[in-house]
Amino acid sequence: MNKFYNLKDEKLTPFTLYHLNFHNMSLLETLTKTLTQGDNLSALGQQLGLDSGTASSAISAALPMIVGAMARNASSEEGANNLANALDKKHDGGILDQLGGFLGSTDNGDGAGILGHVFGQKRGGIEAGLSQISGVDKSTAGSLLENLAPIVMGQLGREKRQGGLNPMDIASMLGGAAKQQQSSGGSMAMDILSNVLDRDGDGSMLDDIGGMLGGMFGGKK
């Protein structure tokens, strides 16, 4: 995979450094907090036929899978640019202002299409893994992922718009979030994601992300 994060190629602005050092660690926390509390959790649980505890656990497992796969896809220049373009065209964060209505509806918007880009032909394996660790059936796992994918894109779109993020910033935020999740003990979902998506068969999808953050500071490309 062609990595592009290197000081020789991109100037690291103070804003970029801020996100690398602080903000990327809170991306999943922000999403999880938004979706596993109050009316949002109740609406999604009711739509999927899940009690609040099961819905919360499933959300907490599904979000790292989506973010981790997005990080992997965005770890090339082409992938990061494609993601940034998609955010500009269709995902400005407006969905976050109407979450209750979206989560309470069976219309998942662009969810299926987003998952097609994020997981490709591996979607079935991701759904099976999510079902295994969350206790929901595979069909419900798929519906949950379709609900969450537009929300993750909306959060990224809002960050991009409000912070003036470039493709490298977005990729760095995603990569940092994936690495933070792996190192903070939330590894079961990431392990399943790695097993399904790992390219070189070494058991580590984070190796495929490829030192994305480290490369920005002069590491190997």
* Signed CA dihedral, 45, 108, 186, 21: sign only: negative
Residue 155 lies in a domain: yes
Burial 34-65 (b: 16+ CB within 10 A, else e): bbbeeebbebbbebbebeeebbbbbbbbbbbb
HSE toward the beta carbon, residue 100, CA cutoff 13 A: 2
Question: What's the pTM value of the predicted model, to 2 decimals?
Answer: 0.81
Provide the residue range defining the domain that includes 205.
14-216
Residue 98 lies in a domain: yes
**How many domains, in total, are found in the chain?**
1
Residue 99 lies in a domain: yes
Residue 185 lies in a domain: yes
Residue 6 lies in a domain: no
* 116-128 confidence digits (pLDDT tens): 999 999 999 999 9
Residue 221 lies in a domain: no
Residue 102 lies in a domain: yes
* 189-209 confidence digits (pLDDT tens): 777 887 887 654 544 555 544
* 79-116 confidence digits (pLDDT tens): 999 999 999 999 989 999 989 889 988 888 899 999 99
What is residue 37's predicted lDDT score, i.e. its pLDDT?
Answer: 85
